[in-house]
Amino acid sequence: MSSNGHRQFVKYTFYKLDPAWRRLPPERRAQDKAEFAAVVSEIASSMTTRTYSTVGMRGDADLLVWQATDTLEQVQDAATRVHSTALGGYLDTPHSFLAMTRVSHYVDDHRHEGQEGRTIEVKPSDNAKYFFVYPFLKTREWYLLKPEERQAMMTDHFKIGHKYPSVKINTSYSFGIDDQEFMVAFESDSPSDFLQLVEELRGVPGSLYTLRDTPIITCIRMSIEDALDSLGG
C-alpha cells in the first residue's frame, strides 16, 4: 500500500442527449428512461453515485453522473452498462473527468470532511441541491515555489473558504491519469455564496498561478428519474 493509504477513483461523466430521442414515440421514451434509471440505480448499489441535471445550465451537457469507487474496472463496467441501454445510444459524452482521492499536502490543521486518517473516501452531502464542477490546472511556476510559499497561499484559500460554511469542497487529483491536475467540485444550497467565494478567491496571490479552471459546470441534484424527465420529450 502506498504512503497515501487507500484511495478511490472519482469519475465525472457528463452526457448530452441527441434531440432525435425526443421525437421517438412516448411509450418508447418511457421505456428507455425506465431501463436507464434501473441500470443507474443498480450501479449505485455497488459504488457511490450521485446524479444531476445540467439542462438549462449548459448548452453542451444535460446530465452528470458523479461516481466514486475502488477500481478502474468498476468505472469502466459502469460506463459499459450505461452505454448498452437503449437511451445510451442517444447520448454523447462531451465532458469526462477522472481523478483520485488523497490527503491534501496543505491541510495541516485544516481538514476537509472525508479526508481524516488513512482512508480517503468521497462522502457527498445528503441534501445539497447544487453542484459546481470544474477541472483545474496550476502553472509550472507554482510547483517550483518553495513549499512554505505554497503553504502560505493555500492557507489564504482556506481562510476565505471558512467564511462560506454553506459551501463544501470536494477535491480530487488527476496527475498522470487525465488531462487536468485536479478536479474541484463544490456542493451548496446557495449559488450566491459560491459566486461570492469564487470572486473573493480571485483576489488572493495564489490565483496568479492558475493556468486553467474551465469549463465550470453548474448542476442541480436530482434523482435519476427526475434528471431523465428534465431531458424533455
Task: Please check whether residues 134 and 214 belong to one and the same domain.
Answer: yes
Task: Please check whether residues 91 and 13 belong to one and the same domain.
Answer: yes
pLDDT tens column, 84-114 = 999 999 999 999 999 999 887 666 544 445 4
Task: Please check whether residues 29 and 78 belong to one and the same domain.
Answer: yes
Strands 48-53 vs 91-100: parallel, antiparallel or unpaired: unpaired
Number of domains in the chain: 2
Alpha-carbon distance values, 41 to 15, 26, 63 (Å): 17, 22, 15
Is residue 75 within 8 Å of residue 98, measured between CB atoms?
yes
pLDDT tens column, 2-13 = 445 579 999 999
Q: How buried is 218 (Cβ within 10 angstroms: 0-12 exposed, 13-18 middle, 19+ buried)?
A: middle
Contacts of 7 (CB under 8 A, 6+ apart): 100, 101, 102, 120
pTM of the model as a whole: 0.91
Task: Please check whether residues 90 and 13 belong to one and the same domain.
Answer: yes
Q: Is 49 left (phi over 0), alpha (psi -120 to 50) or beta?
A: beta
Residue 124 lies in a domain: no
Task: Please check whether residues 49 and 62 belong to one and the same domain.
Answer: yes
DSSP string covering 152-200, please?
Answer: HHHHHHHHHHHT-TTEEEEEEE-TTTSSSSEEEEEEES-HHHHHHHHHH
Helix and strand numbers (H, E) in the chain are 6, 9
Task: Please check whether residues 50 and 34 belong to one and the same domain.
Answer: yes
Task: Please check whether residues 50 and 40 belong to one and the same domain.
Answer: yes
Residue 167 lies in a domain: yes
Task: Please check whether residues 143 and 96 belong to one and the same domain.
Answer: no
pLDDT at position 122 is: 86
Residues 138-151, buried b or exposed e (16+ Cβ, 10 A)? beeebeeeeeeebe
CATH number of the structural domain spanning residue 96: 3.30.70.1030
Task: Please check whether residues 225 and 192 belong to one and the same domain.
Answer: no
Task: Please check whether residues 83 and 20 belong to one and the same domain.
Answer: yes
Residue 1 lies in a domain: no
pLDDT at position 64 is: 98
Point out which residues pair with 92 in neighbouring strands: 16
Residue 49 lies in a domain: yes
Q: Which residues of the chain have pLDDT under 50?
A: 1-3, 109-112, 114-119
Residue 109 lies in a domain: no
Task: Give dist(CA 37, CA 139) in Å, integer.
Answer: 41
Q: Could you identify the residue written with the cell 442517444?
A: 90
Amino acid at 152: A
Take residue 177 and report the three cell numbers written for it: 491519469
Residue 40 lies in a domain: yes
Residue 24 lies in a domain: yes
Task: Please check whether residues 143 and 213 belong to one and the same domain.
Answer: yes
Q: Is the dihedral of CA 219, 220, 225, 229 positive or negative?
A: negative
Per the structure, the complete domain to which residue 61 belongs is given by 9-100+221-229
Cα angle: 23, vertex 218, 97; to 5 degrees: 85
Task: Please check whether residues 95 and 170 belong to one and the same domain.
Answer: no
Residue 16 lies in a domain: yes
pLDDT at position 28 is: 97
